[in-house]
Amino acid sequence: MSSPDRWLGRARSGISGLPLKRFRALATSPGMKPLDLTSRWILVTGASSGLGRELARVLARDYGANLLVVARRRDRLDELANELETKHGVSVRAITADLGEIAQVDRVFAEATLDTPLYGAILNAGITHFGNWDELGWAEYERMYALNVTSVVRMTTQLLPYLEQRRESGALMLVSSMAGLVPTPYQTAYSATKAFLVHYGCGLYHEMLPRGVSVTTFVPGGIRTEMTDGAAFNDLRSWLMPAERCAREAIRAFRDREYVYSPGFVYRWGSAMTRFLPQRFFIGRVADQYRRSLARNRSS
């Protein structure tokens, strides 16, 4: 190869190849291959509706994964298991549990690992409160904290050593929210639980990377699910992403062992902008919009 050709070749790979790969490695987990999900067992919590149900569908349909699906509504889980087994030929086991109870979280882990070789888990179950902060009763707050935070920490504490011992380079994904990246008025306590998950997931990513397990934190913006079904969300509905699309992006991020991943260009752009705009200004606009949506839909 002549000298100019060599230089041209180097320049080309410089533009399109190596640096891009290096840049990508910063976002994913360097040194680890993407997950190979075919015929592997993945646990998905909160799979009876919304994002969790779509995550299960994408895992079965697009990746051929076997599933352990968890939630309280047994009929929904059985329906989903039947659908996925019939349509996609995968195996699905349903476990009914209230993950707001520690004993039930422990039971789920015990049942899930008894005779199923788990390769990964997506901790997705979560609830919110949309309204004034002081309309959230104490019992409701405790329920939200127990599910969104305590159950995730408890399950993670059991899952990570298990996945590490299996030496298969398995993976965990925590479903947080954009509300965990930026404080979100009128979902104030929820936003704080999701911020916990962002810090928890990012810390674990670095601790577990050298130990051969990837931890991805997924931070979606608004999604069209039962969570956002209520009238209070009426004015915000045009911002909501279809759950199926969100799930496809989530599983790609899980497979590629991303660090923190936000689905949808608009949300990714929005979260980048929050780093440049004064936070009080940006959150003030969110607060105005939420306040209006709540007021309008209360009086209608």
Ligand X SMILES: NC(=O)c1ccc[n+]([C@@H]2O[C@H](COP(=O)([O-])OP(=O)(O)OC[C@H]3O[C@@H](n4cnc5c(N)ncnc54)[C@H](OP(=O)(O)O)[C@@H]3O)[C@@H](O)[C@H]2O)c1
When asked if residue 142 is in the footprint of ligand X (CB under 6 A), the reply is no
Q: Which is nearer to ligand X, 118 or 175 (CB)?
A: 175
Q: What type of residue sits at position 132?
A: N
Q: Which is nearer to ligand X, 35 or 173 (CB)?
A: 173
Query: Which of 37, 46, 200, 255 contacts ligand X by CB under 6 A?
Result: 46
Torsion region of 167: left, alpha or beta (phi above 0 gives left; psi -120 to 50 gives alpha): left
Give the C-alpha separation, 156 to 196, whole Å. 14
Mark 249-278 with x for binding to ligand X (rule: CB under 6 A) and - for no binding. Answer: ------------------------------
Torsion region of 31: left, alpha or beta (phi above 0 gives left; psi -120 to 50 gives alpha): left
DSSP class per residue in 216-228 = EEE----EESGGG
Contacts of 20 (CB under 8 A, 6+ apart): none
Token pair for residue 55?
């995550």
Mark 55-94 with x for binding to ligand X (rule: CB under 6 A) and - for no binding. Answer: ----------------xxx--x------------------
Nearest to 68 by CA among 84, 51, 50: 84
Give the C-alpha separation, 31 to 160, whole Å. 19
Mark 189-208 with x for binding to ligand X (rule: CB under 6 A) and - for no binding. Answer: --------------------
CB 76 within 8 A of CB 95: no
Cα dihedral 232, 238, 244, 250 sign: negative
Classify strands 214-218 and 118-123 as parallel, antiparallel or unpaired. unpaired
Q: Which of 63, 119, 190, 261 is catalytic?
A: 190
Query: Which of 28, 37, 42, 52 contacts ligand X by CB under 6 A?
Result: 52
When asked if residue 127 is in the footprint of ligand X (CB under 6 A), the reply is yes
Q: Coil, helix or strand for 184?
A: coil
Query: Which of 40, 50, 172, 267 contacts ligand X by CB under 6 A?
Result: 50
When asked if residue 51 is in the footprint of ligand X (CB under 6 A), the reply is yes
Give the C-alpha separation, 80 to 56, whole Å. 9
The interaxial angle of helices 151-166 and 188-208, nearest 10 deg, is 20
Token pair for residue 275?
């780093």
Mark 159-188 with x for binding to ligand X (rule: CB under 6 A) and - for no binding. Answer: ----------------x-x-----------
Minimum distance, C-beta of residue 16 to ligand X, in the bound complex (Å):
34
When asked if residue 287 is in the footprint of ligand X (CB under 6 A), the reply is no
- Determine whether 186 is an active site residue: no
Q: Which is nearer to ligand X, 29 or 150 (CB)?
A: 150
CB 38 within 8 A of CB 63: yes
Minimum distance, C-beta of residue 7 to ligand X, in the bound complex (Å):
48
Number of amino acids touching ligand X (CB under 6 A):
30
Minimum distance, C-beta of residue 212 to ligand X, in the bound complex (Å):
26
Q: Footprint of ligand X on residues 208-247 (CB under 6 A)?
A: 220, 222-223, 225-228
Q: Which is nearer to ligand X, 32 or 236 (CB)?
A: 236
Catalytic residues: 190
Q: State the residues that interact with ligand X by CB under 6 A.
A: 46-52, 71-73, 76, 97-100, 124-128, 147, 175, 177, 220, 222-223, 225-228
